[in-house]
C-alpha cells in the first residue's frame, strides 16, 4: 500500500489534519477530522468495552487462570512532580540526540544510520535517516555528491559493510550528517528528557515546576490504595485508564505513529507474585487476539518478546505487539502495544523511593548522604489477602497500547483498491476503507434511489430511526453509484437504499461494502439488521 495515498485520503475525507495547519502546522501534533474522531472514538470504546465494561468478573476469559475484576480510572495529566522522580522518568526518561551545526537539524542518535565508503583516497561515514534500501539509495546519492562524482561513476565508490547505527560510531570527524554537505558537523550525543515541563500556579521557578504525564500508568499506581479501599476488588484485578500523554519526541515522524501528544490505553493488572508469569502470558495472548478480532491481518501483526538488553529499567519481561506499517521498510514492524511484567517496581517505588537494580535485587537509590535519592510517599501500598491473611506487594502486568497508533494501523489495514461495477455494470477501480464494522466511523448510509416519488421522505424516516442507535449518514445528492463510492472511501460498511419496491412492500436494499452483495430487508427490521451485522459482520 502506498502511504502517500492514505495520507492524502485522510486529509481529503477528514480523517486527519495537521495541527494548526493554517499557520504551517506544528511538527508532531495532529487533529482528527469528522471521520477520524469517530474512528478513534470507536477504537477507544471497543477497548473500554472489551477490557472493562463488558468484562465478566464471574467467568474467566479463555486462557485466564481464574475470574478477575476490571475497573476504570481517569486521572489528571499534571501530577505531583515526585511521581515522576519515583517512577524513574525524571532521571531516566530521555533519548540521546545529536545536532547538526551546518543544517541546524536535530536527530535522535539511535535513528541515524550510515555506511562507510571510500573514494578518491578518502574514507567517510555517510549518515542517513532512512533505513533499508531507501537508506542505501540515499547514502549513495549523497556520497556521489560529496565526492563530486556522476551517477555513472557509482562503481568508484567502495562501500564497506552494510548500514549500521550511528551509535556504533565514536568519532564523528569523518561523518557526513544526514542533511550536511561537509564532514564533522554533528555534535556529540546529548541526553534530552522527553517530558514536557510546565509551571503550576504563580510560581515560575523550580518550586512550581511540574510535568505533563508521559504515560497514564503512574496515575493508576498512585491510586492503587484508593481503588482497593473504595471498591471491593480483590487481587487479581486490573485498573484501566485511557487518556492523553505527552512526550517531547526529538524526531516525531511517520504520520501519527510518533507524535508529541497522543493517547494511551493502559491496564495495570495486579496479581500475586507467584501467579504473575501465568498472567503475563494471558495478557500477551489476549491483547494480540484483540487486534486480530478487529481486523488486523495475521501476517502483518506479530508478537515479539524483548531481548534482555531491550527491557525497560523496571521490567522483568516484555513483549510487543507489532504491525508491519507500510511506511516502514519491507520486513520491519512498528510497536502498537507493549505488554510488560513490571514486578513490584512501581508500587514499591511509590512507597519507598526510586528503586535501582543491584544484581537481582531492587533497592532504594541513595545519595552520598545515604538518604533516598528520590523519597517515596511512605504510604503502605501492600495488599492483604483477607482469605489467606497473606500480605504482599502485588506484581503488575501492564498491557500498554496507543490509541493513535492502533487507529493508524486500522487505517493502513483498511485501505484497499479493488474493482466494483458502476451503474452500467462496468467494472471501475474504487478506493474502499475496509474497517471492521465495530470501528467504522459511519455504520450505515441511507439513500433514496431518486429524489422524488416520496422516496426521500421514507429514507429520512429510516435514517432518523437508525440515528438513535448508530452514527449514520443521509445522502440524496448525485447518482447512487457515486454515493456508494463516497461511502466506500469513508469505510461505511452498509448502505441502505429506498427504491420503487420500498413504496410497494416496505423493504429496502442493504448493500455490503466488501462483498457488494445486496439483499432486501423490511423497513421496520432495518435497525436490528444493522446491529446484528455490526456484531457479526460475516453474517450477511
CB neighbourhood size of 530 (10 A): 22
The answer to whether residue 337 forms part of the interface with ligand GAP (CB under 6 A) is yes
Q: Which is nearer to ligand GAP, 311 or 431 (CB)?
A: 311
Tell me whether the omega of the peptide bond preceding residue 236 falls within 30 degrees of 0, making it cis.
yes
| 103-136 residues labelled b (16+ CB within 10 A) or e (exposed) | eebebbbebbbbbbbebeeeebbbbbbeeeeebb
Q: Please, are residues 422 and 485 in contact by the beta-carbon 8 Å criterion?
A: no
> From CA 387, how far away is CA 378, in angstroms rounded?
26
Angle at 283 between CA 221 and CA 327, to 5 degrees: 95
Q: Which is nearer to ligand GAP, 30 or 494 (CB)?
A: 30
What angle separates helix 455-467 from helix 526-535, to the nearest 10 degrees?
Answer: 50
Kindly state the number of chain residues that form the binding site for ligand GAP, as judged by CB under 6 A: 19
> From CA 61, how far away is CA 69, in angstroms rounded?
11
Least distance to ligand GAP from the beta carbon of 54, Å?
22
The answer to whether residue 215 forms part of the interface with ligand GAP (CB under 6 A) is yes
Least distance to ligand GAP from the beta carbon of 341, Å?
12
> From CA 430, how far away is CA 13, in angstroms rounded?
15
The answer to whether residue 43 forms part of the interface with ligand GAP (CB under 6 A) is no
Cell numbers placing 501: 419496491
- Which of 69, 138, 249, 352 lies at the binding interface for ligand GAP (CB under 6 A)? 249
Least distance to ligand GAP from the beta carbon of 27, Å?
12
Torsions phi, psi for 125 (to 5 deg): -110, 115
SS3 string, 21-67, reads HHHCCCCCCEEECHHHHHHHHHHHHHHHHHHHHCCCCCCCCCCCCCC
**Of 34-42, 146-154, 347-355, 393-401: span binding ligand GAP (CB under 6 A):** 393-401
**Of 1-9, 99-107, 397-405, 472-480: span binding ligand GAP (CB under 6 A):** 397-405
Least distance to ligand GAP from the beta carbon of 233, Å?
21
- Which of 13, 258, 354, 395 lies at the binding interface for ligand GAP (CB under 6 A)? 258
CB neighbourhood size of 167 (10 A): 13
Least distance to ligand GAP from the beta carbon of 335, Å?
5
Q: Which is nearer to ligand GAP, 159 or 192 (CB)?
A: 192
CB neighbourhood size of 85 (10 A): 20
- Beta strand extents in 250-366 (DSSP E only): 261-271, 301-305, 317-323, 334-343, 355-358, 361-364
Cell numbers placing 69: 475484576
The answer to whether residue 136 forms part of the interface with ligand GAP (CB under 6 A) is no
The answer to whether residue 87 forms part of the interface with ligand GAP (CB under 6 A) is no
Least distance to ligand GAP from the beta carbon of 252, Å?
7
Q: Which is nearer to ligand GAP, 217 or 446 (CB)?
A: 217
The answer to whether residue 266 forms part of the interface with ligand GAP (CB under 6 A) is yes
- Which of 346, 404, 475, 529 lies at the binding interface for ligand GAP (CB under 6 A)? 404
Least distance to ligand GAP from the beta carbon of 221, Å?
10
Cell numbers placing 164: 549500521
The answer to whether residue 172 forms part of the interface with ligand GAP (CB under 6 A) is no
**Of 7-15, 46-54, 82-90, 254-262: span binding ligand GAP (CB under 6 A):** 254-262
Least distance to ligand GAP from the beta carbon of 132, Å?
22
Q: Which is nearer to ligand GAP, 114 or 399 (CB)?
A: 399
Q: Which is nearer to ligand GAP, 262 or 447 (CB)?
A: 262
Torsions phi, psi for 164 (to 5 deg): -130, 160
> From CA 491, how far away is CA 38, in angstroms rounded?
12
The answer to whether residue 475 forms part of the interface with ligand GAP (CB under 6 A) is no
- Per-residue x/- marks for ligand GAP, 338-357, CB under 6 A? x-------------------
The answer to whether residue 409 forms part of the interface with ligand GAP (CB under 6 A) is no
**Of 175-183, 262-270, 283-291, 497-505: span binding ligand GAP (CB under 6 A):** 262-270
Angle at 255 between CA 167 and CA 35, to 5 degrees: 160
The answer to whether residue 264 forms part of the interface with ligand GAP (CB under 6 A) is yes
Least distance to ligand GAP from the beta carbon of 405, Å?
4
- Which of 13, 225, 405, 511 lies at the binding interface for ligand GAP (CB under 6 A)? 405
The answer to whether residue 217 forms part of the interface with ligand GAP (CB under 6 A) is yes
> From CA 540, how far away is CA 510, in angstroms rounded?
9
> From CA 239, how far away is CA 378, in angstroms rounded?
22
- Beta strand extents in 365-411 (DSSP E only): 383-384, 391-392, 395-402
- Which of 114, 238, 353, 402 lies at the binding interface for ligand GAP (CB under 6 A)? 402
**Of 36-44, 204-212, 257-265, 510-518: span binding ligand GAP (CB under 6 A):** 257-265
- Which of 51, 336, 444, 533 lies at the binding interface for ligand GAP (CB under 6 A)? 336
Q: Which is nearer to ligand GAP, 337 or 499 (CB)?
A: 337
Cell numbers placing 412: 493502513
CB neighbourhood size of 297 (10 A): 11
**DSSP annotation of 195:** S
Q: Please, are residues 459 and 477 in contact by the beta-carbon 8 Å criterion?
A: no
Q: Which stretches of the chain bind ligand GAP, using CB under 6 A?
A: 215, 217, 247, 249, 258-259, 262, 264, 266, 335-338, 398, 400-402, 404-405
Amino acid at each position: 500500500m502506498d502511504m502517500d495515498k492514505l495520507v492524502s485520503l485522510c486529509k481529503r475525507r477528514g480523517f486527519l489534519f495537521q495541527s494548526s495547519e493554517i499557520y504551517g502546522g506544528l511538527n508532531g501534533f495532529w487533529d482528527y477530522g469528522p471521520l477520524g474522531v469517530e474512528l478513534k472514538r470507536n477504537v477507544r470504546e471497543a477497548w473500554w468495552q472489551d477490557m472493562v465494561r463488558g468484562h465478566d468478573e464471574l467467568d474467566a476469559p479463555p486462557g485466564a487462570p481464574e475470574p478477575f475484576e476490571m475497573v476504570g480510572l481517569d486521572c489528571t495529566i499534571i501530577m505531583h512532580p515526585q511521581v515522576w522522580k519515583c517512577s524513574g522518568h525524571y532521571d531516566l526518561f530521555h533519548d540521546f540526540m545529536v545536532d547538526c551545526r551546518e543544517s541546524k537539524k536535530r536527530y535522535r542518535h539511535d535513528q541515524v544510520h550510515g555506511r562507510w565508503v571510500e573514494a578518491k583516497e578518502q574514507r567517510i561515514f555517510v549518515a542517513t535517516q532512512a533505513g533499508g534500501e531507501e537508506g542505501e539509495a540515499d547514502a549513495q546519492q549523497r556520497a556521489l555528491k560529496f565526492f563530486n562524482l556522476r551517477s555513472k561513476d557509482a562503481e568508484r565508490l567502495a562501500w564497506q559493510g552494510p548500514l549500521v547505527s550511528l551509535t556504533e560510531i565514536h568519532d564523528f570527524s569523518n561523518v557526513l550528517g544526514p542533511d550536511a554537505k561537509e564532514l564533522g558537523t554533528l555534535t556529540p550525543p546529548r541526553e534530552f528528557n522527553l517530558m514536557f515541563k510546565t509551571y503550576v500556579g504563580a510560581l515560575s521557578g523550580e518550586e512550581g515546576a511540574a510535568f505533563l504525564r508521559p504515560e497514564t500508568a503512574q496515575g493508576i499506581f498512585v491510586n492503587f490504595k484508593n481503588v482497593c479501599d473504595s471498591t471491593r476488588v480483590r487481587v487479581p484485578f486490573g485498573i484501566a485508564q485511557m487518556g492523553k500523554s505527552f512526550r517531547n519526541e526529538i524526531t516525531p515522524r511517520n504520520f501519527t505513529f510518533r507524535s508529541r501528544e497522543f493517547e494511551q490505553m493502559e491496564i495495570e493488572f495486579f496479581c500475586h507474585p507467584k501467579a504473575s508469569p501465568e498472567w503475563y502470558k494471558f495478557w500477551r495472548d489476549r491483547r494480540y487476539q484483540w487486534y486480530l478480532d478487529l481486523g488486523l491481518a495475521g501476517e502483518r501483526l506479530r508478537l515479539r518478546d524483548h531481548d534482555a538488553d531491550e527491557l525497560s529499567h523496571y521490567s522483568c519481561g516484555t513483549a510487543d505487539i507489532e504491525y508491519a506499517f507500510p511506511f516502514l521498510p519491507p520486513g520491519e514492524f512498528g510497536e502498537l502495544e507493549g505488554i510488560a511484567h513490571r514486578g513490584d517496581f512501581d508500587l514499591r517505588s511509590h512507597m519507598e523511593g526510586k528503586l535501582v537494580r543491584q544484581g537481582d535485587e531492587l533497592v532504594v537509590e541513595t545519595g552520598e548522604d545515604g538518604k533516598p535519592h528520590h523519597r517515596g510517599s511512605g504510604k503502605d501500598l501492600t495488599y492483604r489477602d483477607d482469605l489467606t491473611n497473606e500480605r504482599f506487594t502485588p506484581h503488575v502486568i501492564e498491557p500498554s497500547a496507543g490509541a493513535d497508533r492502533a487507529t493508524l494501523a486500522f487505517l493502513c489495514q483498511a485501505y484497499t483498491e479493488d474493482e466494483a461495477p458502476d451503474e452500467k455494470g462496468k467494472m471501475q477501480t474504487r478506493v474502499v476503507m475496509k474497517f471492521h464494522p465495530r470501528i467504522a466511523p459511519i455504520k450505515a448510509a441511507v439513500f433514496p434511489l431518486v429524489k422524488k416519488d416520496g422516496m426521500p421522505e421514507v429514507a429520512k424516516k429510516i435514517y432518523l430511526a437508525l440515528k438513535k442507535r448508530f452514527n449514520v449518514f443521509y445522502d440524496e445528492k448525485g447518482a447512487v453509484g457515486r454515493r456508494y463510492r463516497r461511502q466506500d472511501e469513508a469505510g461505511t460498511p452498509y448502505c441502505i437504499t429506498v427504491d420503487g419496491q420500498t413504496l410497494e412492500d416496505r423493504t429496502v436494499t442493504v448493500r455490503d461494502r466488501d462483498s457488494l452483495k445486496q439483499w432486501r430487508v423490511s423497513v421496520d427490521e432495518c435497525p436490528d439488521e444493522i446491529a446484528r451485522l455490526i456484531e457479526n459482520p460475516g453474517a450477511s
